[in-house]
Amino acid sequence: MTALKTVLWSVFVPGAVTIVVPYLLLSSDVESFPVRPALPRFIGLMPIAVGALLYLWCAWDFTFAGKGTPAPFDPPREMVVRGLYRHVRNPMYVAALLMLTGEAILFQSVMVLAYAAVVFSVFHLWVVLYEEPALRRRFEASYERYCMKVPRWIPRA
C-alpha cells in the first residue's frame, strides 16, 4: 500500500510541478513549443533523464528503507540516510530542479527557467520553515548529526 501511495503522490505532485506547469507555460509561447531539432536543445534531455532517475531512486528509498512516502501527510517512519541522502539532504528536490532546468534548455525557455527559480525558492522555504523543524522534532539528535555531516542542497566534492 505504501508503494501505491508513493506512485500516486509522484504522479500528481512532482508530475504537476515538472510536467504540467512547464507544459502550460510553454503552450502559451508558440515560439518555444513544439521542439525543433537542434543539438543544444537535446542537451536538455540529459538533466531531465538524470533528474527523473534520481527522483525514482529517492522515492524507492523513502518507500522501502523509510517505510513511508514522499508525501508530507505520510512521511517515512524511519530516517532515510542511505543512497543519495548520504550526499545531500534534499535530493528529491534537486532531482525536480534538474528536470526543470533540462526542460528550460530543451525548449530554450526563459519562462521555464524563471519558473525553476521560483520552484527552488518555494522548496527552500518549505525545507527551512517546515521540513527541517519537523525532522528535528521527530528524529532529534540523529537529525542534528545528519545536518552537520550532509549539506542541504549541493553535495560536497
Residue 157 lies in a domain: no
With a pLDDT cut of 90, the percent of the chain lying above it is 61
In a domain, 156, yes or no: no
**CA neighbor of 48 nearest in space, from 116, 114, 98, 93:** 98
State the cell numbers at 138. 521527530
Contact 148, 89 (CB under 8 A): no
Does the structure show a pLDDT above 60 at 34?
Answer: no
Does residue 155 form part of some domain?
Answer: no
Measure the CA–CA gap between 125 and 61, rounded to whole angstroms.
Answer: 24
Domain span including residue 67: 2-149
Q: Is residue 102 part of a domain?
A: yes
**Number of structural domains the chain divides into:** 1
Whether the predicted pLDDT of 115 surpasses 90:
yes
107 confidence band (pLDDT: 50, 70, 90): confident
Is the residue at 89 inside a domain?
yes
pLDDT tens by residue, 38-75: 776 778 889 999 999 999 999 999 999 999 888 888 88
154, amino acid identity: I
Q: Is residue 139 part of a domain?
A: yes
* 123 is a domain residue: yes
Q: Give a yes or no: residue 154 inside a domain.
A: no
Task: Report, as an integer, the average pLDDT of 85-102.
Answer: 96
Q: pTM higher than 0.85, yes or no?
A: no
User: What grid cell was written down for 96?
Assistant: 525536480
Q: Which SS3 state, helix, strand or coil, does residue 82 take? A: coil
